[in-house]
Amino acid sequence: MAWNGPAQRKQGVYCHEHWVTIGYPLVKSAYSYNVRDIFVEGTITETYTAQTNVEREVSYIFEVPPEASVTRFTAQVGTVRIESIVDEKSAANDKYQAAKNAGVQAWKLDKVNDEVFQISLGNAPPGVEIIISVVYVYVISSDTIEDSARLTIPMGMAARPGAAPASTTTVPTAPTGSNAVTITIGITTKENKQIFDLASLAHNATLTYGFSDSSFKAMTPKEKQQNFKNNRAYVEFTSTTFLKHHFVLIWTVPEIDIGRCMVEQLSPPMPNKPTTVAFALTMVSNIQLGAEEHEFIFLVDTSASMYGERIKTANAMVRGMLGKIQTDSKASFNIYTFNTSTASILPGGKPMGYDTVNAANASKLLKDSVSGGTDVNAALTTVLKQREPSRPRCSIIVLTDGLDWGVTAAMKTVQDNVTAAAAQGKLLRVFVMGLGDDVSKGMCEGLARAGSGATVYISESQLADKDHQDEKALTLVNTVNRAPIRVRDVKWGMNKATVTATGTGDNQSSRPKPNLSTLGAAGKGDNLPPPAAVQQFPALGTMFWGIRSTWYAIINGTFNELEATVTYDIPGVATGKTFKAQYQFADPGRLIHTLAARALIQGFEDKMSSITDSTAKYWNEAEIVRLGKTYSLASSQTSFVATMNGVGTQTNVNSNAPPASQSLLSSIPTANRSNLSFVNTQAPPLSSSGPSFGAPQMRMMNFISMPTGPGLSSSFAAAPSSGDDALTKVISAQDGNGSFDPSAVENSVFPDTSVPPAPACIAILSGLDNVKDQIWQAVCVIAFFEKKYADRESEWAEARENATKFVKTTLCCIFGVDSDARDNIFNIALDDASGYFY
């Protein structure tokens, strides 16, 4: 059977009427990942069933890696499969609502935040099977260890403080014997680069070297030997239970951190538009900073979710890093703990001068106690106000399980302070150590990105591994002493084409707000002048941090060089430096363009919170719309949409196999051949509409917040820590959706008799006898609590609340009972059940 404990999973299909997942259980999840060099394409396919008697409007909430770009989604309800298009958000909403109001099936995908997306699936008929397939791409992050890679596959959103995109937790269920979860990962690196140290950190996966797919399974030993490639690996994992933790895979490849610039000509070209070239310039800083006066601030998460090995590991990491710091004798340090409040643990709250005696004394003050929620923004605000601004360098090291939805405000707090420090010639940075398998990469890497720092992770299975802790402590100390690189200029090796006007956003404040009466049919995003010849992100002056960092550009022009030239400086070094990265050319395609467009959109979205002028805000939004529609990306201003009456592409299917499609990674070969002769040909004149390639190019290696219903909670009924009486056993047997294990009800609630038959008010409901049994058993347990253990209400109050929600939402969502009839059924049934416990 499927895993049935407190999975904290909020990914799933939700009924709009009550924003609960009751009635739409997850049957299976399939994750298929392809990795080439540092590029990743992931496909998640999940199957749900509508176990309801009435048609309901439903939505699918799901999580992707925070740096990913969703490039495609298909939805299959029954035998109809639909593939969507991208439109401006309000236009997509209009098309979706019009179709739904007309009784036509419709689908819409919206971005909630960097990690979470929502697909509106329209009205799901009773008994129908729903299959969702989502494709996304991204550049893989490093693990802050030299030449390393870390792949995290989200298994559903873990509970964390703040405004979450879903208000309840789903507990997946699956038929006995089925594969609830299937994960396959194919990895291919450059031909002369071998894969080492491949490991699955949280799950017992099958790891196979030499192949990047399952083809080896049908081979003889001799055939395996003949086809074995050192630059390939294949990972496979299946489970009959749903997963409690994210799937984390790590490996190393020699020189994967070497800077490279990957180039792609857009194909197919856009109608009536110039053919552009996209660039992805990737670097990892390996330049060490010299020792100087430095303030170290350790910020330790002591919220309740850090209980046990997490807080012990956090404290051990602080002790370890204090013992490994090599810096100027004038250095100082401070240690803060935070949950919803923040305080220094050092005497008087003042920083100590760094020496081994002070470090040892401070280490003794660390405690393993935890409590409360998490407010990382308030914590960072406190330490940033209390730090010593006279220090030329300050490094804030946050140790957390990363379970806080309030990362946007925290990122702005960090960014504002980092910018202010830089203006005074000071180097302020933020580093994050993420603990556990449910850690939010979006939060950790968002803070590190805003603070020009880096991230380090310790998985759940390694929290008690002292050797691993020592390695990570040393790694993070070394990373703190690694210089950020401030990029001053990038020459992309192209002559820019002449365009009539720019669309970078720099001149948007001077544009008049459009007169809608004169614009005609042109919609938002279509009413812009042509984009700038060079669109790039991040902006010049941005610092790279100590993790894999990528600059993107989309350029309309012609080639004049073989390489990109980066001019940068390092804090404390007077003269600027240059770095040259030779091009590696992909086959014409869309992968690099998609990643570049996503980065450009992120830049515009980051600006949104700081724009106060309505005209400037409009044009900023319009730029997002244009990029989203041009490159088929969901954003804060665009949505995927499809309807059964003509929006998108629909097909009738006879099987549940996921739709086949051309992988965006197909243009990313791993051969090391070089064919750069095209740049020696005569460059076309600047009036050319796009880049010219004189010879075949070498192949390069290539989420809207969910409303929270009244009284809804994402917490589970907490079982008492000790005791074996009937009350304790029943509370412990409550599932995440509020129902109870039938055997526990029979053994503990009715130990001397069988469970009595359900009263007529429940029995007369149509069909789904097993669900009616669950409703009646939950009502019996509520009566059991109230009649037998009235003096212990503090122990069972939360369990009763969750059971009541289960009964009432099931009556509404599954059986279509209106609110008045629902309450009447509940009261009659509870009165009937209470009669068994006098």
CATH number, domain of 478, equals 3.40.50.410
Query: In the prediction, which pLDDT does 255 show?
Result: 80
> Do 586 and 536 share a domain, yes or no?
yes
**SS3 assignment, position 738:** coil
- In the chain, the N- to C-terminal Cα span, in Å, equals 36
Kindly state whether residue 517 falls inside one of the protein's structural domains.
Answer: no
Query: In the prediction, which pLDDT does 500 show?
Result: 56
Strand order of the sheet with strand 85-88? 12-15, 56-63, 116-124, 106-111, 638-643, 85-88
Q: Look at 462 and 102; give whichever has higher pLDDT.
A: 102
Query: In the prediction, which pLDDT does 715 show?
Result: 31
> Do 353 and 431 share a domain, yes or no?
yes
Tens-place pLDDT, residues 24-75? 777 888 999 999 888 888 998 888 787 777 777 778 777 777 678 888 888 8
The mean predicted confidence, pLDDT, of the chain is 76
Per mean pLDDT, which of 168-172, 266-270, 509-513, 823-827 is the most reliable? Answer: 823-827
Tens-place pLDDT, residues 730-739? 998 887 668 8
> Do 282 and 403 share a domain, yes or no?
no
Query: In the prediction, which pLDDT does 749 show?
Result: 92
Kindly state whether residue 1 falls inside one of the protein's structural domains.
Answer: no
Kindly state whether residue 741 falls inside one of the protein's structural domains.
Answer: yes
Query: In the prediction, which pLDDT does 132 show?
Result: 82
pTM: 0.65
* pLDDT grade for 548, boundaries at 50, 70 and 90: low
Tens-place pLDDT, residues 493-544? 888 887 655 444 443 444 444 444 433 345 676 778 888 888 988 777 665 5
Tens-place pLDDT, residues 554-567? 999 887 777 888 88
Q: How far apart are CA 135 and CA 634, in angstroms?
A: 12
Tens-place pLDDT, residues 304-355? 888 888 999 899 989 888 887 765 567 889 999 999 899 999 988 888 888 8
pLDDT over 50 (residue 714):
no
Report the pLDDT averaged over residues 713-739.
63
Kindly state whether residue 590 falls inside one of the protein's structural domains.
Answer: yes
Tens-place pLDDT, residues 225-248? 999 999 999 999 998 877 767 788
**What is the tally of structural domains in the chain?**
4
Kindly state whether residue 179 falls inside one of the protein's structural domains.
Answer: yes
pLDDT over 80 (residue 717):
no
pLDDT over 70 (residue 553):
yes
Q: Look at 78 and 672; give whichever has higher pLDDT.
A: 78
Kindly state whether residue 472 falls inside one of the protein's structural domains.
Answer: yes
List the CATH number of the domain containing 217. Answer: 2.60.40
> Do 178 and 307 share a domain, yes or no?
no
* pLDDT grade for 222, boundaries at 50, 70 and 90: very high
Report the pLDDT averaged over residues 188-202.
86
Kindly state whether residue 701 falls inside one of the protein's structural domains.
Answer: no
Range of the domain at 35: 12-252
Q: How far apart are CA 609 and CA 410, in angstroms?
A: 13
> Do 108 and 43 share a domain, yes or no?
yes
> Do 187 and 321 share a domain, yes or no?
no
pLDDT over 70 (residue 596):
yes
> Do 310 and 266 share a domain, yes or no?
no
Q: Is 771 exposed, middle or buried (0-12, 13-18, 19+ CB in 10 A)?
A: buried
Tens-place pLDDT, residues 128-157? 888 888 888 888 865 556 677 888 887 754
pLDDT over 90 (residue 777):
yes
Kindly state whether residue 3 falls inside one of the protein's structural domains.
Answer: no
> Do 468 and 493 share a domain, yes or no?
no
* pLDDT grade for 207, boundaries at 50, 70 and 90: very high
Phi and psi at residue 19, in whole multiples of 5°? 50, 55
Q: What is the DSSP string of 10-50?
A: --EEEETTTTB-TT--EEEEEEEEEEETTEEEEEEEEEEE-
> Do 646 and 616 share a domain, yes or no?
yes
Amino acid at 14: Y
Q: Name the token pair of 394.
A: 């300050």
> Do 453 and 529 share a domain, yes or no?
no
pLDDT over 50 (residue 675):
no
Phi and psi at residue 409, in whole multiples of 5°? -65, -40
Tens-place pLDDT, residues 63-78? 777 678 888 888 887 7
> Do 215 and 304 share a domain, yes or no?
no
For the chain, helix, strand, coil in percent to 5 are: 30, 25, 45
pLDDT over 90 (residue 456):
no
Q: Look at 89 and 644; give whichever has higher pLDDT.
A: 89
> Do 208 and 83 share a domain, yes or no?
yes
Three-state DSSP string of 746-791: HHHHCCCCCCCCCCHHHHCCCCCHHHHHHHHHHHHHHHHHHHHCHH
Buried b (16+ CB within 10 A) or exposed e, 310-340: bbbbbbbbbbbbbeebebeeebbbbbbbbbe
